[in-house]
Structure formats: structure tokens, C-alpha cells
Structure 1
């Protein structure tokens, strides 16, 4: 493994813990406070306030566990989802295990919630907020080689949005360069399709589902001008004159603005867009998870598939998104709608 010299830039991108974390030795009568429900054990030797822990969404709890491992094992190298967590890249649900790298001579194993991986391939290691983490490119490629295609696409899109130095050409070349061929072919699907233009994780996952449903790939982030308004849409099928909008739950849940205001704004926007289109579809996470509502929304606009459905990919995507505590990508810094 090689150590990157660009540690200052990497450190500036560190994600802070989502809640205060304490070494057990710092807390007097820690066991009593745990028994009373005032503290929770994030992992052995690391505690957190219970009132803050239980309100965290699952992906933030995972981030906390990664930070806890960094506190108790400061010399480990984080990889896969754990590196993604420290880099504010998308997480899906709670991956549970913290992933770290070791030398090729070590034995891959799981111990105390830490999954130890061994590798003979080079990884660039950077300092991210005091933790040693695989580079953004290596993190992306590792996940693309070993995880579901929709996850890989979402992570790669987000990484490219965060760092303009990451390009499809560079990522594809690095994937092909690695000596170990395991997962190389699998990674190609996401790496060749990645783009920083997709603005949210829902858009990235939707793009994967739309392709697997057999529809033509849309243009992304196309702008329409109506009078004094400029409306940018998530997806545009020029030939069919169809707009597609991937709407995250935060848009209407009242956390950004009153729900009634958001709905009225959206209706006015839709009226303007209909002057330019023959079809307009909205969908959210539930529609992508269930697949059929997304398919029906696209059919309702007049779009028709240009190829067969990929049943296996659609089934596994639906199963992935059906897991409890679905995704954490709409509230963390690199994941906002």
C-alpha cells in the first residue's frame, strides 16, 4: 500500500462523528450509566450519550461505529463502506461491519464487528481527519467490484461530484490496471456509467433501475426556460419529450420548508414544464423499491422500453431497498436531495 502525499486536502474532507464519543476510561461509573440508560456502548471501550444515539438514523450509527474503531485502533486502514463513511459517500442502511485492510500475509477474518480484508493490490492510503483511509478512487473501485451495481453507481457518481479529479477514464483505467482481476468485470458496469451530473443518490439508483427496466438512458439536468423561470429537470428523454423527476422524501417532509409551500412550488413548476413536454413523471424511493410503480410512471408518459428487462438486477435492487432502515443518502453532506 502507498501513502498519498495529499493529506491536507484529504483531511479537509473528513466527516466528524455524528455524536460525542468517549473512551470508557474517561467516564466515572460508566457501567452504572449504561445500566441506567444514560450511555450506550458503541463498541468495546467507546461510549456515547444514549439520548443522541437512539435518534440517529442507521447510517449515522454506522458512521459512529467507524469513528469508534478509529479511536480504539488508530493505525488501521479503513476501506469499503467504512472508507465511504469517512469520506461522506453514500451508505445504504447500516452495513454493520467496519471494514479495514491488512497486509496480504494476514488472515481475512471478522472479530468484534471489524472485518479484516487482505489484499496484494496497491491502495493509495490518505489521512482523512486523522484516520487512514483508502483513496476515493480505491474506495469506489473496491465497492464497484464487490457490491450491488446500484450501490456502486451511487457511490461513484457521488465521488465524482465531490472530486473533479475523478473521471470515468481514470477510474476505468485503475480498475483494469489492478493485478487482481476479482470483480473487475462486475465493476465495469458502474464505472462506465458514472457521472457527476447526477445530483442525488436517488437519481443514481433510478438511472440503474431505468436501464434494467429496458428504457433508453435519459439526459440529465436539462434546463427549460419559461418566461422569467429557469427549471432544471433531473431527466429528459428528448425523443419522447418526457421529463422524469426523482423526488426525495425530504422535499415534502417539512424539514426544508413547509410541506404546503413545497407542494405549491412543485405544482407551479410542473405547469411550466408541461409547456415543453408531452409527459412528466415523478417518483420517489418507494416507487424505485417496488419497481412496478416506477415502470408504470414511465409508461404513463408514453415512454416504451427499447430492450428487455433485467429481472435479476431489478429483483436484487428491490430486495436491497426493502431492507429495514433503507438508505442514508438524503441527509448527509454528500447525499442531499
Structure 2
């Protein structure tokens, strides 16, 4: 018995060390991509120019390009990637559905509908306060999540993975149809904004958007990380979780609310970027396994790396023409989703 305990402790230590090493590698990769991204764009800056500008020795033009245009966008890219990936990890863990993703389940569509209704009834897009948009997106996404939860929930069995996925796809399709109908009432400038949002182009690219998103991440990410052990237990299933003293419905609702809030606050400044919440957790699970103590932070790092790479490619591949980040992630994510569909029994 003592030998078994020592062996388990050794395996746990090895797993922890491996996970910490992977987190370190991912952090280094993000840093490298950040440096490349600061050098990349229509107005190119050499690595030496970037370095001198960061230390206050650049020209006025170089400071404008780096500090006003690129750095806010790069920071937002990392943050929304982390937020969307953690949101997807929550939804996959709570529903025990490998195909769960905020975009696929209709959360993005609900947030987009709320923003669109706001734009429809306000005279100009400039009237939309930056700090209000995440709140509006959360309200729309929250109402959508409640509808999906009610339709997919089964008494005595909890959330059915199959029902959750199919209900989310159906609700997202209905909301998307409603948004298309409402576009006929939009002025050309508002229609252009909405088209940019739906394509997944990161439109919030200044420091105001950075500060608008920061409080949501500072509150929600630590809360979710503290719930890692609860998510491990929920993965055992409805009845085993009840037997271990977990109030399953209550914990599911709290975690889903956190996941919806993360997704809504991110897409409010980034547009409807899809598949990050699907790909990020899957890659993280392959790297560190299913324990959420490691899975959640690695998902955040993986999602942040994915978005900043996609945004850098979108800005540089056909410069000065910019490809929306959502299109880059869709090119990667759609085939992966079909691959998972082929392997998953739904």
C-alpha cells in the first residue's frame, strides 16, 4: 500500500512537472509570436526599430504604429483567445461533450443579436459606449444559454451531450436567420460594422477596448481556475457527482454562466470568431491530459497563441488587404470539427 502511494505521488509529480514545462513552452511561443506580430503589417518595422521604440527611442511615427495600432490589438488577440478557449473548455467539461464550443452552441449568435438590436435602435455606432458592449453581449448570450439549457436539460439525467449540441446548433441557426432579417433596417455604416463583426474581424483595436475587456478576465478566469476540482468531479457523470456531494445542477449553472460571460465579453470586442473554444481545449487535452488544474491554463495559453497567430497571418498574408481572423480560424477549425464529428457518437 505504501509502495502504491509513493508510486502515485511520483506519477503526479511527473505530470505536474510536464504540465509546467508545457506551459513554459507555450508562453515562450506566445512571446515569440508577439515579437513577430509587432514587426508585421503594412507599415513594417524592423526588430531593432521595435526594440528602440519600446524603450522610448523611436520616432513619432514608429510610436504611433506600435503603441496605438499594434500593441492594443496584439494584447486583445491573446486575451480573447484565452477567454474563448477557457469558455470552450468549461462547456466541454460541464456537458461532457467533445464538440461543445461557444460558437457552435449559439453563444456567439446570441451576443451578436444583442449588439445588433442595440445598433438598430441607437442613431450611430459611435453612441455605443465601449464598456457597455460586453454587458449587452453577456445579456444576449446569457438569454441564449438559458434557452439552450432549458431545452437540452433532462430531469434526473442532467445535460444530455447530444441534446445540448443539436439544440445549440438549432438555436444558433434561428438567431442567425433573425439577424439576417433585421439587417434590412440597418444603415450602410451599421451594416458594414455588423458584417465585420460576423466575419470575426478584431474591430476593438485600441486601449479603450483593452480596458473594457480586462475586468471580465480578471474576475472570471481566476474563478474558473478555482473550480478545476469541481469540473474534474463533474466529468465522472451526473450520479457519481451527486454521490460525491456535488450539487450538480447548481455547479453546472455557475460554470456555464462563467463560460458564457467569458465568451460574450470576448466576442463583444473581437467579433464572432469561431472554433477557438473547440480547438484550444482539444490541443491542451492532448498535451496535459484531462485534469482541469492543468487543462484550463494550458487551454488559455493555446487559445491565445492560436488567435495571435491567426490575426498576424490575416494582417500579413495579403497586405494591405486584411483577412478577418475568424476566417483563418474557420479554415483550421471546420475540418477539425468534421474530424471530431466522424469520431464522436452523437
TM-score over 0.5 for the alignment? no
Q: TM-score, normalised by structure 1?
A: 0.24
Q: Which has the higher helix share?
A: 2
Q: Relative contact order (alpha carbons < 8 A, sep ≥ 6): 1 or 2 greater?
A: 2
